[in-house]
Structure 1
Amino acid sequence: MERQSADWPPVITDEEWTRVRTALEAATDRFAILVRSVPDPNVKATPEWSVTDVAAHVANIAGLYVSITSTDPERAPETAPPGCMADTTLDTVAEMNAADLRELTERDPVKLADLLRERVGALLRATAETAPDAPLPWLGGSRVPVAGLLAHLLNEILIHGRDIARAARQPWPIPPEDAAWFLELFFVGVTSYGPGHILEIPETGEPVRTGRLVAEFRSRFTTPVTVVVHDGRVSVERPGRKSDVRVSFDPATLNLMLFHRVGKPRAVLTGKVRIVGRRPWRLRHFFRTIRIP
C-alpha cells in the first residue's frame, strides 16, 4: 500500500478512496449479519455494554459521521452532531458516548443492524463526490480528511465486531489490509491536519516534560511513517529522522493493542508486533501518551 509522494501527508489516491469505501461497506454487512445472528443480544460484549449496546454505539458513530458530511438535510439521519463535540477530549469522550446511547433507545438487534446499514449507506452517498483529502471537523477541535473519517468508522466496526463475535463465540477475521487504513488514513490524517486537543495528555497543572520519542512504524500494508512524541504533543512525518524505535507490525494486531483488546506482551511474543532500535524501551512512552478514541 506504500504511497510514493513528495508531499506530506501523502496524497490519498482515487484507488485508496475506492478501497476504503469498499472495505467499509463490506465490514458493515458482516457486522449487521453478526448482530442479527447472536442468540442472546443481552450478553455482555464489553465489561460495560451488551451486544445491542455495542451495535447502538456503532450506529451512533455512523449517524454522527453522516451529519458531519451531509450537505443535504434530507439525507442526514435524525441524529445531529452533539453540541459538545468540539470540546470533547479523550477524558470526556466516554461521557459523550454514554449520552448518545441513552438518546438511542432502540435495542432490537435486527433494527439496529438495519439502522447501521442505512446510516453507512447514507455516509457513502454523502461522500461519493467528495475529494478524499477534504478536511472535516472532528472531536476536540481536530480535523480529519474525509477518507480518514471512513477509516475510523471502519476500525470501530472491526474492533467492536470482534467484541460481539467473542461474546457469541463466533469467528471474526480482521483482514490486515482493512485494519491498515486506520493508521494510513485516520491517524496520519488527524495528526497532520490538526489534532486539536484530542490527542493531548491530560492537563495536570504542571508543565509537561515527557522528552522526545521518535518511532518509525512499518508494515507491508502501510506507508512507512515516523511518529514523534514531544512533551505530550504528537506529529507524523516521512521516515528519515534518526529513530529511537522501529516497529514492524500486523495492522490488525496493532489496532487491537492500541484499543486494549490484545496485551502488548502477547502482541510481541506472537511476532505480530516487532520492536527493534537503539532505545526500544522508549516505546513505553509512546503507548502512555498515544490514546486514541
Structure 2
Amino acid sequence: MADTLTHAAAATRVTREKWSTVRCALEASAERFAALVESVPDPSARATEHWSVAETAAHVTGVAWNYTVLGTAGPRRPVPIPEVRAHMPTTTVDNLAAVLNTTQLRAFTERDPATLVARLRSSIRDLLDRTAADDPAELVDWLGGSRLPLAGIFAHMMNELHIHGRDIARGIRAPWRIPDDEAALFFDLFIVEIARNGVGRLLDDDRPVRRGSIAVEFRSAHTVPARLVLEDGVARAEEPSGRADVRVWFRPAALNLMLFHRVSPVRAALSGAVRISGRRPWLLPAFMRKVRMP
C-alpha cells in the first residue's frame, strides 16, 4: 500500500529570497528571449510543429501582457487580451492548447518581431514594477479554478520564456541554455505550490479515476525536497516522510523539458538527468498520466 502515515500539507516554498530570485530570473530570461527573437533572420521559420517564430513570440508576449494585470495591491485592471477571460475558468491541461492558446493568438494579431519584443519588454517591466511591494505568497486565481501564490505566476512566466526560447533556438539552430537554478524555481514555486493550494479543474479528464494512493518524492540539488501524492484522482503536496512509492532525482531543466514533452522520458533517463527508484517505481506512469503538463 502507498504510505498513509502522514497527510500533512507541504509548507510553502515562497520565501523573500526566492521572490527576489524569481523576479531577477524572469527579467533576465525575458531579455535573453527578446534578444533571441531580434536575431532571427526569418520570423516565418518554424519554431514548433504548429507555430512559426513570430507566432511563438506572439504567444509568449501575449501571456506576459495579460499577466500585467496581476498584483495583490491596487485596483485590478482588465485583461489586455480580453477574449481569453471567458475560457480561463474552464481551462484544463488537455484543452489549453486548442482553446485558450488558439483564442489568444487569434485575438492578438501582432506578428512583427520588433513590435512584439517591445511589448514583451514593457510587459515584464510593468509586471515587475506593479508587484514590487506585493506579498509574494498572496494567492492569485489561475487557470481552471487553480490557485497560485504570486511568486508562482512569476515562475510560470519564466518557464514560458525558457521552453519557448528553446523552441525558437532549435528552429533556427541557435544556442539556448536553461539554467538549472532558474528551472528549479518552476518546480518549487509553481508545481509544488499549485498542488499545495489547489489544482481546481486543471487536471480534469475523461479517464476513469484511479483509486488508491501514489506518493512520489522529488529531489534535486537545486530544489526543496517535496512529495506529491495522487489519491483517488486528486493531487496534493506533502512534506517528505521518509517513505514513498517512487523517488525521482532530477536536474530541474531536464525535468521541465520532459514535462512539457520537449525531451522524452527515455532520453531523460538514459542521460542520467532524471533517475527513478523507490519501492513501487512502476506506478510513476499512472501518476504522470494524471499529474501532467500540456
The answer, yes or no, to whether TM exceeds 0.5 is yes
Q: What residue number does 1:199 align with?
A: 203
1:122 to 108, 126, 134: 126
Check if 1:32 corresponds to 2:10. Answer: no
| Whole-angstrom CA distance in 2 between matches of 1:62 and 1:272 | 30
| Whole-angstrom CA distance in 1 between matches of 2:239 and 2:85 | 35
Report the AA paired with residue 135 of structure 1.
Answer: L
Check if 1:100 corresponds to 2:104. Answer: yes
Q: What residue number does 1:148 align with?
A: 152
1:136 is displaced (CA, Å) by 0.3
Q: Is the 8 A contact 1:161 1:172 kept in 2?
A: yes
Report the AA paired with residue 149 of structure 1.
Answer: I
1:134 is displaced (CA, Å) by 0.4
Q: Is the 8 A contact 1:86 1:141 kept in 2?
A: yes
| Whole-angstrom CA distance in 1 between matches of 2:86 and 2:69 | 12
1:183 to 164, 187, 190: 187
| Whole-angstrom CA distance in 1 between matches of 2:191 and 2:11 | 11
Q: Is the 8 A contact 1:165 1:172 kept in 2?
A: yes
Q: Is the 8 A contact 2:136 2:151 kept in 1?
A: yes
Q: What residue number does 1:134 align with?
A: 138
SS at 1:236's partner residue? strand
| Whole-angstrom CA distance in 2 between matches of 1:7 and 1:139 | 22
Report the AA paired with residue 95 of structure 2.
Answer: T
Q: What residue number does 2:230 align with?
A: 229
Report the AA paired with residue 200 of structure 2.
Answer: G
Residue segments in structure 2 that go unaligned for 5+ positions in a row: 1-7
SS at 1:209's partner residue? coil
Q: Is the 8 A contact 2:254 2:273 kept in 1?
A: yes
1:241 is displaced (CA, Å) by 5.5
1:112 to 113, 116, 130: 116
1:269 is displaced (CA, Å) by 0.5
Q: What residue number does 1:3 align with?
A: none
Higher relative contact order (CA 8 A, sep 6+): 2
Q: Is the 8 A contact 2:10 2:237 kept in 1?
A: no
**Number of residues of Structure 1 aligned to a counterpart in Structure 2:** 285
Q: What residue number does 2:90 align with?
A: 87
| Whole-angstrom CA distance in 2 between matches of 1:98 and 1:172 | 26
Report the AA paired with residue 208 of structure 1.
Answer: V
Q: Is the 8 A contact 2:248 2:275 kept in 1?
A: yes
Query: Alignment identity in percent?
Result: 48
1:79 is displaced (CA, Å) by 2.7
Q: What residue number does 1:167 align with?
A: 171
1:242 is displaced (CA, Å) by 2.1
Q: What residue number does 1:274 align with?
A: 275
CA offsets, 1:130-188, max 9 Å, x none?
Answer: 11100000000111000000000100100000000000100001100000011100111
Report which stretch shifted further, 153-162 or 60-69.
Answer: 60-69
| Whole-angstrom CA distance in 1 between matches of 2:53 and 2:122 | 19
Q: Is the alpha carbon distance of 1:219 and 1:66 closer, same or farther for their aligned partners in structure 2, counting shifts above 3 Å?
A: same
| Whole-angstrom CA distance in 2 between matches of 1:76 and 1:125 | 18
| TM-score normalised according to structure 2 size | 0.92
CA offsets, 1:251-273, max 9 Å, x none?
Answer: 00000000000001110011000
| Whole-angstrom CA distance in 2 between matches of 1:173 and 1:148 | 21
Q: What residue number does 1:51 align with?
A: 53
1:7 is displaced (CA, Å) by 8.1
CA offsets, 1:106-138, max 9 Å, x none?
Answer: 111111111111111111112111111000000
1:83 is displaced (CA, Å) by 2.1
Report the AA paired with residue 37 of structure 1.
Answer: S
Report the AA paired with residue 38 of structure 1.
Answer: V
Report the AA paired with residue 110 of structure 2.
Answer: E
1:288 is displaced (CA, Å) by 1.3
| Whole-angstrom CA distance in 2 between matches of 1:109 and 1:74 | 29
Q: What residue number does 2:4 align with?
A: none
